[in-house]
Amino acid sequence: MNIEIDNISKFFNSVTVLNNVSLNVESGEMVALLGPSGSGKTTLLRIIAGLEYHNSGYLRFKGKDVGHLAPQDRNVGFVFQNYALFRHMTVLENIAFGIRMLPRCKRPSESMIKYKVNYLLNIIQLTHLSDYYPVQLSGGQKQRVALARALALDPEILLLDEPFSALDAQVRKELRRWLRELHNTMEFTSIFVTHDQDEAMEVASRIVVMNHGRIEQVGTPRDVWSCPANRFVLEFFGDVNHLHGEIRGTELCIGMYHWPLLFNKKLYYQGAVDLFLRPWEMLISKTCDGFYLLPIQIVDISLRGHYWQLRVQPLGWHNNLLTVIFGIRDIKSVPEYGMYYYLSGQNARLYVGEEAL
């Protein structure tokens, strides 16, 4: 089922929580609402579910206005971050609960309910725990049961509010992969809220970056990662080193160091600029030349699984430490603590205030 969000606004007293938000979600998509706390992502999710009502704009499912419909009339499944399982019911009973609460005219036979529940137990790989109670389950298992219970009613849309935030890192990774596989198998339309960039990157087909009740960018994970729409997205989406510089003539200057700009910047803008360098885009060399000009000293080295993370101290041109990342296969010899290198600023993204150059 496709979802059309058309200029939706939401106010709580005098506070604007959503400001003319528009978004189209195609049938079968899995979309992540990503943003900091207070960005409006959970409010938007609750409006889609019918748990909140918008003050202006339109919400349509398959072209039909559903803004006036109660939650139970929208055919939407909702999964909360705290599982919300019934403690006195077994896994099987929790999954079957929604089906058994249907009006008699819509409720399937008991044999069909049993078949449906067993099918979902197999999908979530918990058939062997069907008689367990929630207190006997791990956090990851509880969340799988919550997902199965939401899917039991065959919702056309599945909404998830930070579904994995209460779980430890390894369980989150496993469930992210599992949720993506589940979506590919069942092909439901889904929107989930998260503040975890890795989660959005791994699970979503498109990411919606939100801030202060507005949408900053919509795109595939690759688009948002490699081509941030503005400064907020660049700074929010992944770690970034922030430097200060100046454009003088046709050169970029950082402290006493300068080198030619490789291309014209906004009709030869002159003056102060902010430079942003992502850690994995930074290049270092043992020798100083026209490309590697900025002297640094290695002050910390740590192995982070498949990559090396360096903390480096700029020497005379910037006060704060910078982070540099190298893949294990990208370097032949690992820099040692205390060694001196030269850094290139050629990969920097330049901004004047909020405007990119």
What tokens were used for 85? Answer: 């399982």
Confidence of residue 83 (pLDDT cuts 50, 70, 90): low
Say if residue 211 is in the same domain as residue 294: no
Final residue in a domain of this structure, among 201, 236, 271: 236
Per DSSP (E only), the strands in 180-306 are 189-194, 206-211, 214-219, 241-248, 251-254, 257-260, 271-277, 283-285, 294-303
Q: Which residues pair with 309 in a beta bridge?
A: 302, 325
Say if residue 139 is in the same domain as residue 257: no
Which has more confidence, 226 or 332? Answer: 226
Final residue in a domain of this structure, among 207, 236, 265: 236
Q: Say which range, 37-46, 208-217, 249-258, has the weakest mean pLDDT.
A: 249-258
Residue 214 near residue 208, CB atoms below 8 Å:
no
Q: Report pLDDT digits (tens) over 18-34.
A: 999 999 999 999 999 99
Q: What is the mean predicted confidence (pLDDT) over 180-199?
A: 89
Count of domains forming the chain: 2
Final residue in a domain of this structure, among 204, 236, 268: 236
**pLDDT of res. 125:** 87
Q: What is the mean predicted confidence (pLDDT) over 195-222?
A: 94
Q: Report pLDDT digits (tens) over 92-149.
A: 999 999 899 888 888 999 999 999 999 999 988 899 999 999 999 988 888 889 889 9
Domain range for 69:
3-236
What percent of the chain stands above pLDDT 90? 57
CA 126 vs CA 64, 70, 83, 119: distances in Å: 37, 32, 16, 10
**Residue closest to 343 by CA, chosen among 277, 292, 272:** 292
Residues 123, 185: Cα–Cα separation, whole Å = 9
**Residue closest to 205 by CA, chosen among 340, 20, 15, 26:** 26
Say if residue 49 is in the same domain as residue 192: yes
Amino acid in the structure at residue 252: L
Say if residue 37 is in the same domain as residue 98: yes
Secondary structure class of 90 (helix, strand, coil): coil
Confidence of residue 11 (pLDDT cuts 50, 70, 90): very high
**pLDDT of res. 296:** 95
CATH number for the domain spanning 222: value is 3.40.50.300
